[in-house]
């Protein structure tokens, strides 16, 4: 895919990088990492940032595996992952460096620990570099730790082929992500949903990522407006909070309350977008899709957004399926449902449990063959979730 190198790739309000500059920084970080003899596993323990994105692709550029850790993890949680994964490099933020340093010292291990300030300034030469394009779909891209239903964190191994299958589904087969659709980076990127939806998919299609520094309403609304955002990757709790804020204003006026009731009965998106134009403008005026995953969206919350003329694309999945199992197709949003199966994904219901098979299913749990064998049986992934397939 041809991407305009002068287009903004990522922006955090304080600075922005074009695609050319981002590729150059990725190349530069990869060279620095190589000075430590790094070609293995890189832990990223940091808040969302441009450096997070650079480190991800620099690790891949070197043929390494990325292990993202929740920036809010406890000492014991971090220690468990470091012991289990044995990373060869850790990239952290200046705010989180002391926490990670303490864990490393307690474990009595020697792992290079870098922050952005440890990376020397890039040479002034204005060289062009090639975009990252993995050639081996079977190579492991991520080890993402998830507790699942067992209580202890297991490392889910996802290959580039797993990721590509998801990308093809939402970037090519059903074109949710497009070059002209700017995306909000809001959720913490140690989860596979925001990793795919707010970093990998937007960059794959040549869109622009706008990073919200935190999850306060003011910052979110400012970023939506400043970035002319088309796609939000969110979870039910985010949309519940936004819906509550909008409804409190609507219910404060008897006129808007009456109009809302009419729109609720009509369920005509064109009417709703016109009559609630001010609400759409409040959300930046460019929103196309509100992507929702991580848990079931309450029907009443979905109904608020549908009545206001927004479109929520609900999805169901898990880290082990990188992440999509089913997702809503644009124009086919039915409240209470999690959408249609990913292309090429087989789904069956066995004693009420959702079982799936497809190219997006993980390679297995890192260092845990018994746990892998328990969830992957005869080619089928037993999700542990209850579900139904209607006609």
Q: What is the pLDDT of residue 2?
A: 62
Under DSSP, the state recorded for 122 is P
Buried b (16+ CB within 10 A) or exposed e, 328-344: beeeebeeebbbebbbe
Alpha helix (H) ranges present in the chain?
Answer: 19-34, 50-61, 75-85, 97-107, 160-167, 192-195, 201-205, 217-226, 236-250, 254-266, 269-275, 277-282, 299-308, 369-375
pLDDT surpassing 60 at residue 297 = yes
d(CA 361, CA 324): 9
Superfamily of domain 159-346: ANL, N-terminal domain (3.40.50.12780)
Task: Quickly tell me which residue has 């340093």 as its tokens.
Answer: 101
Return residue ranges of the chain for CATH 3.40.50.12780. Answer: 159-346
Return residue ranges of the chain for CATH 3.40.50.980. Answer: 19-133
Give 140-188 pLDDT, tens digit per residue. 999 999 975 556 899 999 999 999 999 999 999 999 999 999 999 999 9
Spatial strand order in the sheet of 376-377: 346-350, 353-357, 380-386, 376-377
Q: What is the pLDDT of residue 151?
A: 66
Architecture of domain 19-133: 3-Layer(aba) Sandwich (3.40)
pLDDT, greater one: 15 or 35: 15
């Amino acid at each position: 895919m041809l991407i305009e190198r002068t287009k903004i790739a990522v922006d955090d309000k304080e600075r922005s990088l074009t695609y050319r500059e981002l590729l150059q920084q990725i190349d530069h970080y990869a060279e620095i990492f190589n000075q430590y003899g790094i070609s293995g596993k890189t832990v990223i323990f940091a808040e969302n940032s441009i450096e997070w994105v650079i480190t991800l692709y620099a690790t891949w550029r070197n043929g390494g595996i990325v292990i993202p850790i929740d920036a809010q993890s406890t000492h014991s949680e971090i220690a468990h992952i470091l012991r289990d994964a044995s990373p060869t490099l850790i990239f952290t933020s200046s705010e989180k460096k002391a926490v990670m340093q303490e864990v490393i010292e307690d474990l009595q291990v020697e792992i290079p620990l870098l922050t952005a300030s440890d990376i020397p300034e890039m040479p002034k030469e204005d060289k062009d570099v090639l975009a990252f394009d993995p050639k081996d779909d079977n190579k492991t891209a991520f080890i993402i730790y998830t507790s699942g239903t067992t209580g202890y964190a297991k490392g889910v191994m996802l290959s580039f082929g797993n990721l590509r299958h998801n990308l093809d589904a939402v970037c090519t087969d059903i074109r949710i992500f497009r070059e002209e659709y700017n995306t909000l980076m809001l959720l913490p990127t140690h989860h596979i949903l925001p990793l795919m939806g707010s970093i990998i998919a937007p960059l794959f299609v040549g869109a622009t990522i706008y990073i919200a520094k935190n999850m306060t309403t003011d910052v979110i609304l400012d970023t939506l407006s400043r970035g002319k955002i088309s796609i939000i990757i969110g979870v039910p709790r985010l949309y519940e909070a936004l819906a509550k804020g909008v409804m409190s204003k609507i219910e404060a006026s008897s006129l808007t309350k009456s109009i809302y009731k009419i729109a609720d009965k009509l369920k005509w998106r064109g009417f709703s977008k016109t009559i609630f134009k001010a609400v759409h403008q409040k959300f930046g005026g460019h929103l196309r899709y509100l992507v929702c995953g991580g848990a079931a969206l309450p029907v009443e919350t979905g109904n608020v957004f549908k009545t206001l003329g927004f479109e929520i694309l609900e999805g169901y999945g898990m880290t082990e399926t990188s992440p999509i199992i089913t997702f809503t197709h644009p124009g086919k949003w039915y409240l209470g449902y999690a959408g249609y199966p990913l292309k090429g994904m087989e789904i069956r219901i066995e004693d009420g449990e959702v079982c799936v098979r497809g190219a997006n299913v993980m390679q297995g749990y890192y260092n845990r063959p018994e746990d892998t064998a328990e969830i992957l049986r005869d080619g089928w992934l037993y999700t542990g979730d209850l579900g139904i397939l209607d006609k």
